[in-house]
Amino acid sequence: MDVLFWCCLLFGALMALVTLVFGDGLGDALGGLFSIDLHDVFQPVVLSGGITVFGGLGLLLHHYSSLPGYSVLVLAVLGAILVGAGMYFVYVKPMKNSENSTGYSMNELAGKLAEVLTPVPAVGYGEVLVKTVGGLSNHVAASFDKEEVPAGAKVVIVEVKEGTLYVSRME
Contact 118, 127 (CB under 8 A): yes
Output the pLDDT for position 143.
95
Q: What is the dihedral of CA 1, 3, 83, 98, to 10 degrees?
A: -150
CA distance 107 to 85: 40
Output the pLDDT for position 17.
84
CA distance 44 to 22: 12
- What DSSP state is assigned to residue 42? G
Predicted model pTM: 0.52
Cα distances (Å, whole numbers) of residue 101 to 6, 91, 98, 153 = 42, 20, 10, 29
Q: Which residues, 6+ apart, have CB-to-CB distance to 9 below 8 Å?
A: 52, 55, 56, 59
pLDDT per residue, tens digit, the chain (171 aa), is 889 999 999 998 888 888 777 766 665 665 555 554 456 667 778 888 899 999 999 999 999 999 998 999 999 999 999 998 998 888 878 877 666 666 778 888 999 999 999 999 999 999 999 988 778 889 999 999 999 999 999 999 999 999 899 999 987
Beta strands in the chain (DSSP E): 113-118, 126-132, 135-143, 154-161, 164-169
Q: For the domain made up of 106-169, give the CATH fold.
A: OB fold (Dihydrolipoamide Acetyltransferase, E2P) (2.40.50)
Q: Map out the domains of the chain as residue ranges.
A: 2-97, 106-169
Could you tell me which of 126, 123, 124, 104 has the C-alpha nearest to residue 115? 126
